[in-house]
A and B are shown apart, each in its own frame.
Chain A
């Protein structure tokens, strides 16, 4: 199942997810647990808000000088013996990586987590060319074995429970039937993947942060898979979105303090690995990828979402993500950040996403780099309306409301008619009229009088 195969229709997918209410509740709580861990991690840092502000400014500064920093990175990385490539889209990214791999006669590739390679569907591309590609992050290996995409950007298999993973491992890794203990299942994956690491001809990683002033880049993992995957074979290829830059190593301190605390509540990931050049007698390549990012960059009002450091905090806190699951978005990156990024690919295809939000603003409040996520989501709604890509019912309702609010007389009259009519209609009919909104909610009781009427009366009593 690839992203392309899923037509993005959030309400429909969310409805499917919610059919199993028990599981939906479990998913909701699992993600909320992550949010609580994040809160504990953050509370330990008195300067948290100042640090967020600082990070936000560094990112905005970097974005406002992005071409300069990209050139600086390229030149410094080259001095270190890192070979830098540029890809305008996912297809070119895949071709470049395949070309490097085939030059080295690579048969077996180990990968550590990279949402960019997910976005470009690198695995499918390389597997089709006859290579073995093994995802080595445990969560990613689980979804790869299940032939599914990740449903979360930090914990890719969060939608699966231990029984399902146990059954999957029983079938694929030969663990005993009925084994569901996370420690033993992880142990089995460790043995299985150790073999893959040792046999690998090349390692592919993502990039958490690339450093403009020195060249080189940082990859953060808890498992150590990026390090094992790149320290054994003689070839390391890193795929990097062009927005991943920070100006100097000193800036890394700000982001490394924010990233793990926001993601899991840890003070830092187990490994913050600095790849600053190839080991002796080996090769290191970085592929800088556009794939729609320059178009996104050109829209100044949306530019801040290119600051994202992929911590996943906005997913964990989002009441909609928690109750609809990662697949309901139909995009590589789900949740509030996915909702702000996906329409840059296609406003048409992802037109339901900006409505998959309560606009509560919790995402913006937890974002470690202070992206105005909920404001951007609202902006997308406006763009959709202006582009005429909203459902006729929504358009009618919004158009009508706009008129009504413009003319106070119409508003008063409308209110009177509404109160009269609604009290006559049975509840099950109202549920039909209110659409998706009314599925699990009842309208509050309709008051007999408007606020203004009540106010006038009360004033008379004074």
Chain B
């Protein structure tokens, strides 16, 4: 018998012999506390997880803020995955290199990226997490290779908590998705928090609208 069949058979016979009662699924969790102002809470949560927040009235203001950001000005290799943002690049000096992303790209080609800008789908007030998936980033490696990450989220796209978050998610046509909450971090050496473990050394969240 294959390992598969013997494992399933062992479990089934244990099910019958143990006579443990069947337990009902409890359904959706309905007791979550709701925030009065989820947007405020979202901004607060991003700070708690060591991210930085910037609120902008519109996309134009956001683009201007990014262009004036020292991370943008110091970046040598940049990638913009947010179609609503356009920059007057090359911004200052001619040594800035912009990379584009195509589905067939070798993910290793993004190794030298200093700054990546991407659109988050929505944000979660309780924990500052932002959902991204492969429909908007064909090679997710860039989100972890980049030295710094900037994510945009629209004000009307903030949900209260993870329960609301999953109720709007569908996994039907995606192969990769991630909740990103703050920059990469570790506390594995004597529990001292260090920002920038393997992935981005910083996360800047732009709230639009």
Chain A contacts to B: CB under 8 angstroms: 30, 33-34, 45-47, 50-51, 54, 57-58, 60-61, 63-67, 70-71, 74, 80, 86-88, 92, 136-139, 142, 155-158, 161-162, 165, 182-183, 185-187, 190, 193-194, 197-198, 211, 214, 216, 222-225, 227-228, 231-232, 242, 247, 249-250, 252-254, 256-257, 264, 266-281, 288, 290, 294-295, 297-300, 303
Contacts and interface: CB of A to CB of B under 8 A. Distances in A.
Given A88-B6, A197-B198, A253-B166, A80 B189 contact: no
Given A138-B186, A193-B198, A224-B184, A298 B17 contact: yes
A343 B11 CA distance: 19
A270 B194 CA distance: 13
Contact of A61 (B18, B24, B143): B24
Nearest to B169: A249
A280 to B, nearest CB: 6
Contacts of A297: 10-11, 14
Contacts of A300: 18-20
B108 A198 contact: yes
B15 A67 contact: yes
A45 B33 contact: yes
B162 A227 contact: no
Given A57-B23, A267-B127, A279-B176, A182 B14 contact: no
Chain B interface, >50% SS class:
loop
B191 interface: yes
A294 B11 contact: yes
Given A162-B192, A232-B141, A249-B166, 6 more contacts: A86-B2, A86-B7, A197-B198, A253-B165, A274-B171, A276-B176
Contacts of A242: 7, 11
Contact of B186 (A222, A227, A257): A222
13 contacts: A65-B22, A66-B11, A88-B6, A161-B190, A186-B194, A190-B196, A231-B144, A250-B166, A254-B163, A257-B127, A270-B184, A298-B17, A298-B18
Contacts of B189: 138, 142, 157, 162, 165, 182, 185-186
Contacts of B175: 80, 275-279
A229 to B, nearest CB: 9
Please name the 6 residue pairs, one residue from A and one from B, whose CB atoms are nearest each other, closest first. A224-B199, A267-B127, A223-B197, A139-B188, A277-B175, A231-B141
A138 B188 contact: yes
A290 B3 contact: yes
Nearest to A139: B188
Contact of A64 (B15, B140, B145): B15
Contacts of B23: 57, 60-61, 63-64
A274 B179 CA distance: 8
Nearest to B2: A86
A58 B145 CA distance: 36
Given A70-B8, A71-B8, A294-B7, A227 B29 contact: no
B32 A58 contact: no
Interface residues of B, number: 81
Given A223-B197, A253-B166, A280-B103, A271 B29 contact: no
Contacts of B141: 227-228, 231-232
A118 to B, nearest CB: 16
A278 B134 CA distance: 11
A270 B185 contact: yes
A67 B161 contact: no
Given A47-B33, A60-B23, A227 B11 contact: no
A321 B23 CA distance: 33
A211 B170 CA distance: 13
B52 to A, nearest CB: 14
A227 B127 contact: no
Given A250-B167, A297-B11, A267 B45 contact: yes
A375 to B, nearest CB: 16
B186 A67 contact: no
Contacts of A294: 7, 10-11, 14
Contacts of B199: 223-224, 227-228, 270-271
B17 A223 contact: no
B139 A231 contact: yes
Nearest to B7: A290
Contact of A298 (B10, B133, B162, B197): B10
Most chain-A CB neighbours within 10 Å: which of B2, B189, B191?
B189
Contacts of A187: 196
A75 to B, nearest CB: 12
Interface string B146-185: 0000000000000001110111010100111111111111
A231 B140 contact: yes
Contacts of A303: 18, 20
B187 A155 contact: yes
